[in-house]
Structure 1
Amino acid sequence: MDGHYPASHPTPHDPARTPAPDVSIVVPIYNEVDNLPDLVARIGQAMAGQPLTWELLAVDDGSSDGSRARLRELAAATPWLRPVMLARNYGQSSALQAGFDRVRGRYVVTLDADLQNEPGDIPLLLQRLETDPEVDMVSGWRKDRQDAELSRKLPSRIANKLISNATGVHLHDYGCALKAYRRPIIDRIRLYGELHRFIPSLAKEAGARIAEVPVRHHARTRGVSKYGIDRTFRVILDLILIVFFMRYRQRPLHAFGGLGLWLAAPGALILLWLLVVKLFGHDIGGRPLLLVGVMLVLMGAQMIAAGLIGELLTRIYHEAGGAPQFHAEEVVVDSEPNQPSAPAPSAQSAPQNIA
């Protein structure tokens, strides 16, 4: 469990003085003191047979059960372990982002600290990235889940279906924390709030090509689960944000303005019809339909105005050097300059593959 660091190299406790590893493993931790020794040992065992060098960034998210002290003890004896201590409990998304901000490897792996994910499956995900250049992200699929509680299985199934249909990124298991990425994808996304549930959608927006592979799953044996049925309602709210982000981030007028037109159009027709009725001498002052028409037109106008303000903010954000509007990779052709080109084939020898 030496982490592939030669004895002549300084230990990775000072990352600036060590060469960057091939793989950075990020694990958010919250009150998992009993699982930490096994977690570190099993990650070391899983990676020991790999030709890739690695580091483990264990991000403590304000634990109150002694996890921080245990991480310091483990780091003193484990050169490839880099503990990161957050000042308080910020949530899983912030803990992951704190780890992403510090990764140095060309591959990034994430998993939970509760040992329900199998660290021995990390090489499986890395092998897919190593052998398939068309894949930028490999997401684990807990095909045979070992959760006994219906309060975890049912919300997970509902969330997976809902997120897949809404975002167009179809995965069996959005909730599996065991994932592997190419580094450029991690550099392009930012997590805040509780967006860790939607990393595949954010990665797809950043240009990632995603694959899903079955991985092992274990029942929790130590510690307490942090999830419950109330998580489903939070997922629905976050999903609205993600769908808007993916579809309308650079064109908010299409979202707000489109809804505004759908509201204002029937309102305008109602008011036009009431105007005709008024011209024929009928009283319309006491009709509820008049109030409905006025309210629809006003709400539609407000939505269109919100869309215009959103467009202005979007343009200001991008022109001020905010997030890029797109991600691109330039293809460099490896050719020798000033070399004579190959002679063109003669008409007699040209293949006749005309369809």
Structure 2
Amino acid sequence: MDLSVVIPLYNEEENVNELHTKLTETLNKLSIAYEIIYVDDGSIDNTLKLLEEIQKNDIHVVVLSFRRNFGQTAAFAAGFDFARGDIVITMDGDLQNDPADIPKLLDAIKDADLVSGWRKKRKDSFLSRKFPSIIANWLIGKVTGVKLHDYGCSLKAYRKEVIKNLRLYGEMHRFIPALASWYGVKIKEIEVIHHPRRYGTSKYGIGRTIKVLLDLVNVKFLHSFSTKPIQFFGPIGALLMVLGVIIIGYLVWLKFSEGVMIGRRPLLLGGFFSVLIGLNFIGMGFLGEMIVRVYHETQKKPIYILKKILGPGD
């Protein structure tokens, strides 16, 4: 299988047939072995029924149906698990992404591991969609060090070995380029077409911004400290302990050099709490180290990713 196209759908009955027609028109011109994986994310309209009819008439189609709405990240994860293609392309099912961009993605990934679409001329509301996206893209780039114009664009292409090593949770599908960067992948970004939504309504609004921010913190921690938690918790704990010792030492000096009563000073409690909290942080670091070792050793999880092996028997 050369290509897998993964498309999550949630209540998109107005778009399904037109989407499939445009997809097959584009893919049949490529003369490659392909599959289309539609993931019905617990739709409560006729989306699944339409997908079942499409699958009956097209051997290239695979339909995955969730028992309930699990979200876009879960839908992408399911599609990745079932994808058989050497290249995996993801896109939205609302006709805002254009299947005509698929050949451009395939051409771009010839010398890359991951190609991300950039909706430079985005056809969405500025206040509710484009402005929050601008802020989010800047923030994600700053925190992760992987700078892209458009993290939120679902139109992306991946080599199979990139997505097969990923485990997605929460709203992490938008952070795949940042997560994949840990493996040392080569990332490219290309401009893609973006159409205004003609049918239905968007299922993803500004209300999930907080979830994205929390997942960003999670991604930063996993990216930098997932195999060395003591290096995150340790310095914080040590700093708090040093601060607490300085405060207590200062108060003890006041007590014995100037006879000042320190028992009722809030600063004394602050010093003791600083030491205790510091000890707790260091303790969390040690616990984290033990958990990491249990996780990697019992499940045989690697702490490295090989790109290739050269030598006898390669």
1:313 corresponds, among 284, 291, 296, to 291
Residue 21 (structure 2) aligns with: 41
| 1:328 maps onto 2:288 in alignment | no
Structure 1 residue 249 displacement after superposition: 0.4
Residue 163 (structure 2) aligns with: 186
Q: How many angstroms apart in 1 are the aligned matches of 2:241 and 2:205?
A: 41
Structure 1 residue 211 displacement after superposition: 0.4
Deviations for 1:294-318, whole angstroms, at most 9, x for unmatched residues? 1111111111100100001111111
Contact 1:266/1:296, CA 8 A, preserved across alignment: yes
Unmatched tracts of structure 2, length 5 or more: none
The structure with more radius of gyration: 1
Please give the secondary structure, in 2, of the residue aligned with 1:40: helix
Residue 68 (structure 1) aligns with: 48
Residue 147 (structure 2) aligns with: 170
Q: How many angstroms apart in 2 are the aligned matches of 1:333 and 1:295?
A: 58
**One-letter code aligned to 2:260:** H
2:66 corresponds, among 86, 98, 104, to 86
Contact 1:152/1:227, CA 8 A, preserved across alignment: no
Please give the secondary structure, in 2, of the residue aligned with 1:230: helix
Query: What's the TM-score once normalised by structure 2's chain length?
Result: 0.96
Taking structure 1 as reference, are residues 149 and 221 closer, same or farther at Cα in structure 2, changes over 3 Å only? farther
Q: How many angstroms apart in 2 are the aligned matches of 1:80 and 1:51?
A: 13
Structure 1 residue 149 displacement after superposition: 4.4
Structure 1 residue 334 displacement after superposition: 9.5
| 1:29 maps onto 2:13 in alignment | no
Unmatched tracts of structure 1, length 5 or more: 1-20, 336-355
**One-letter code aligned to 2:223:** M
Residue 9 (structure 1) aligns with: none
**One-letter code aligned to 1:47:** L
Structure 1 residue 333 displacement after superposition: 6.1
Over the residues paired in the alignment, what is the CA RMSD in angstroms?
A: 1.4
| 1:211 maps onto 2:191 in alignment | no
Residue 205 (structure 2) aligns with: 228
Contact 1:188/1:206, CA 8 A, preserved across alignment: no
Structure 1 residue 227 displacement after superposition: 2.1
| 1:296 maps onto 2:270 in alignment | no
Q: Name the structure with the higher helix share.
A: 2
Taking structure 1 as reference, are residues 324 and 333 closer, same or farther at Cα in structure 2, changes over 3 Å only? closer
- Deviating beyond 6 angstroms after TM superposition, the runs of 4 or more aligned structure 1 residues are none
Residue 253 (structure 2) aligns with: 276
Deviations for 1:171-196, whole angstroms, at most 9, x for unmatched residues? 00000000001100011101112111
Q: How many angstroms apart in 2 are the aligned matches of 1:220 and 1:323?
A: 42
1:248 corresponds, among 216, 225, 228, to 225
Percent of residue pairs identical: 45
Residue 265 (structure 1) aligns with: 242
Please give the secondary structure, in 2, of the residue aligned with 1:188: coil
Query: What's the TM-score once normalised by structure 1's chain length?
Result: 0.85
Deviations for 1:75-107, whole angstroms, at most 9, x for unmatched residues? 111111111111111111111111111011100
Contact 1:189/1:206, CA 8 A, preserved across alignment: no
1:287 corresponds, among 256, 265, 272, to 265
Structure 1 residue 279 displacement after superposition: 1.9
1:56 corresponds, among 36, 40, 46, to 36
| 1:102 maps onto 2:82 in alignment | yes
